[in-house]
């Protein structure tokens, strides 16, 4: 459901909870399906070091699939602006990310059941936002259509939330900068660098975050156009995971080879700041 302008501003608690959750939480596996035609926000390597601007768009929680609802930290109807989850991803084999049911919800994880003993696709902490590229004042650039930003917690979200908290306190706001508030919110300006964890693959690592007062409110027409992100989570069955992993003619040797690359990464080396195309 769309962000509720009439409700008390519950976004503030979201920022704090997101920071509180920095040490992880408990959840399980599922697939996230975005509406057809949804575009992914990408970090263009050519823009590394140059400040980029986005509006982060809020919505209201619709389901108990929202990890914070599952943990009793939020309720259906609360306004929110991000999903903080753990996902499994197996490059080229599993077409899309699978929510880790264990680390996200504290349930049995079908992905881990299906891949037991294979050391395959370790769960990584990801954040999903609805964003709109814009200029420093918040005026949309391009066609203005909302896009999905699917990023590593460690490569993007952690610094965003820490800076919102630090800068909000510096400014005497008594808490985080309410960047996602559609009426008195802020444009998020950030810079990133392309880094690697030793291999050939590079990923965008956020280096600096600044906040700029948004000149105009986010219109209701835009807020009404984005589905609540929690409503898009699909809780997977073991059968669906099995079919995704083994049902498409992939050999187990290819799976193992890709898995060994994946499993050597630790949190700080979490690659792939932006989800691969397959996720959509």
Query: What is the binding site for Zn ion (CB under 5 A)?
Result: 100, 102, 109, 111-112, 123
Q: How far is the CB of 235 from Zn ion (least distance, A)?
A: 12
Q: How far is the CB of 113 from Zn ion (least distance, A)?
A: 9
Residue with smaller CB distance to Zn ion, 202 or 238: 238
Residue with smaller CB distance to Zn ion, 209 or 240: 240
Residue with smaller CB distance to Zn ion, 123 or 229: 123
Q: How far is the CB of 115 from Zn ion (least distance, A)?
A: 9
Closest alpha carbon to 11 in 168, 128, 179, 151: 179
Residue with smaller CB distance to Zn ion, 95 or 191: 95
Residue with smaller CB distance to Zn ion, 105 or 211: 105
Counting other chains too, the contacts that 109-112 makes at CB distance below 8 Å and 24 or more residues apart are: 109/28, 109/29, 110/28, 110/29, 110/236, 110/237, 110/238, 110/240, 110/241, 111/29, 111/236, 111/241, 112/29, 112/88
Q: How far is the CB of 86 from Zn ion (least distance, A)?
A: 7
Q: Which 8-state DSSP code applies to residue 121?
A: S
Q: How far is the CB of 101 from Zn ion (least distance, A)?
A: 6
Neighbours of 200 (CB within 10 A): 5
Q: Are 166 and 15 in contact (CB under 8 A)?
A: no
């Amino acid at each position: 459901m769309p962000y509720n302008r009439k409700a008390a501003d519950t976004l503030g608690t979201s920022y704090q909870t997101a920071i509180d959750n920095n040490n992880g939480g408990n959840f399980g596996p599922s697939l996230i399906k975005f509406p057809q035609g949804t575009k992914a926000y990408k970090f263009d390597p050519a823009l590394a070091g140059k400040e980029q601007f986005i509006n982060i768009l809020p919505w209201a929680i619709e389901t108990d699939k929202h990890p914070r609802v599952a943990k009793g930290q939020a309720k259906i109807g609360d306004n929110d602006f991000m999903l903080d989850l753990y996902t499994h991803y197996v490059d080229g084999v599993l077409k899309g990310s699978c929510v880790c049911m264990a680390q996200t919800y504290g349930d049995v994880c079908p992905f881990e059941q299906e891949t037991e003993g294979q050391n395959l696709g370790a769960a990584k902490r990801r954040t999903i936002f609805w964003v709109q590229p814009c200029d420093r004042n918040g005026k949309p650039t391009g066609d203005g259509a909302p896009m999905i930003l699917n990023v590593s917690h460690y490569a993007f979200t952690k610094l965003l939330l820490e800076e919102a908290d630090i800068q909000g306190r510096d400014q005497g706001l008594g808490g985080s900068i309410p960047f996602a508030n559609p009426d008195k919110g802020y444009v998020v300006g950030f810079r990133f660098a392309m880094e690697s964890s030793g291999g050939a693959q590079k990923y965008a690592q956020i280096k600096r975050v600044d906040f700029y007062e948004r000149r105009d409110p986010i219109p209701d027409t835009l807020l009404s156009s984005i589905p609540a992100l929690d409503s898009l989570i699909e809780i997977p069955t073991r059968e669906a995971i099995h079919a995704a992993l083994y049902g498409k003619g992939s050999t187990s040797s290819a799976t193992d080879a890709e898995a060994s690359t994946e499993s050597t990464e630790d949190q700080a080396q979490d690659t792939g700041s932006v989800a691969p195309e397959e996720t959509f």
